[in-house]
Amino acid sequence: MEKSGYVAIAGQPNVGKSTLLNGLLKKKLAIISRRPETTRDNIRGILTEKNLQIIFTDTPGIHRPHNLLGKVMLTRAQSSLLEADIILLVTEKRFALGSGDMNIISRFPEQKEGKTVILVINKVDRIKQKRALLPIIEGAKKKYPFAEIIPMSALDACDLEKLMSVIKSYLPEQPFLYPKDQLTDKSDEFMIQEIIREKILTKVYEEVPHSVAVVVTDTQEDEKTELLNISATIFVERTSQKPIIIGKSGMMIRNIGKLARVEIEELLNRRVYLDLWVKVRDKWKKDPNALEEMGYG
């Protein structure tokens, strides 16, 4: 009998949800940044083994939205909770089961709907005194009837295997939901945009926080060189941010493009020419038309 199901990875910003997704899949699917609010969309990663299929969904961090983009992100995270068979609530010692986590729990479907909720206390490798976890675990048991409470590090292979075994034990018996060879529900175009955005966050986050969006505007095959020519536009909110992305003599945007191209070629398994442009779109995070154009509609 086949087992399959949706597993939503939920939690506050910057608790390691994307790192956990990539670790469980043993493949980089979601972009990673040390900064909060990196993930803006539900990203499904599909793991298929013999008679088992798990559809993991990495969700945007759930918090009080500051603009229209934040509201869209919250709506998408909420939708993943509703469809999930299993919810992984990811937290860490700093704010485990505080007001932020309790806000997320309040958004869970009613318990009578039969969803399994597992509490994942991440980043325990940073805790010197492991006994500090005991009051957190005891407090968690009093606040919500979690099916399991698992302290772990998303960077530890053994911890990931233990979590995976627990997830498998709770999967419902039902036919596969996706083709066996499908790895994600996202297009190559979406993945390219995310790779470019990750490199921007890596390089210029302090100067240009979350004011950046990336849109692939064109892809063309070059029959002579066998290159895939990709054009993408980097949108910023203010005129002052444009020269930061470009850098002195275009040095910064070349570095961003070089880093992104290496990863895009690995994704597509072919040679790529990447052409990046920077444009100003004032207050795009509050503009419904802009959000629609950028894929956040």
Q: Same CATH fold, 188-293 and 3-170?
A: no
Strand order across the 227-236 sheet: 213-222, 227-236, 272-280
Given pLDDT bands bounded at 50, 70 and 90, which one contains residue 224? Answer: confident
User: In this model, does residue 207 exceed pLDDT 60?
Assistant: yes
The domain ranges of the chain are 3-170, 188-293
Amino acid at 106: S
pTM for this one? 0.85
Taking 90 as the threshold, does the pLDDT of residue 272 lie above it? Answer: yes
Which of 10-24, 53-67, 117-131, 220-234 is least confident? 53-67
pLDDT at 209 over 70: no
Residues 6+ apart with CB under 8 A from 226: 270, 271
Task: Tell me what the mean pLDDT of segment 112-121 comes to.
Answer: 84
Sequence-separated (6 or more) residues with CB below 8 Å from residue 97: 91, 136, 139, 140, 143, 144
Contact 190, 219 (CB under 8 A): no
Contacts of 204 (CB under 8 A, 6+ apart): 244, 245, 252
Q: Are strands 116-122 and 148-151 parallel, antiparallel or unpaired?
A: parallel
User: In the numeric block, which tokens belong to residue 209?
Assistant: 């926080």
Task: State how far the Cα of 125 lies from the Cα of 175, in Å rounded to an integer.
Answer: 37
- Fold entry, domain 188-293: GMP Synthetase; Chain A, domain 3 (3.30.300)
Structure confidence by residue, pLDDT tens digits, 35-49: 655 666 778 899 999
How far separated are the first and last CA of the chain, in Å rounded? 39
Write the CA distances from 286 to 210, 262, 297, integer angstroms: 13, 33, 11
Domain covering 3-170 in this structure, CATH number? 3.40.50.300
More confident residue, 259 or 18: 259
Is the pLDDT confidence value at 70 over 90?
A: no
Give the CA distances from residue 41 to residues 52, 70, 126, in Å, rounded to whole numbers and listed in that order: 25, 11, 28
Is there a contact between 120 and 90 (Cβ–Cβ < 8 Å)? yes
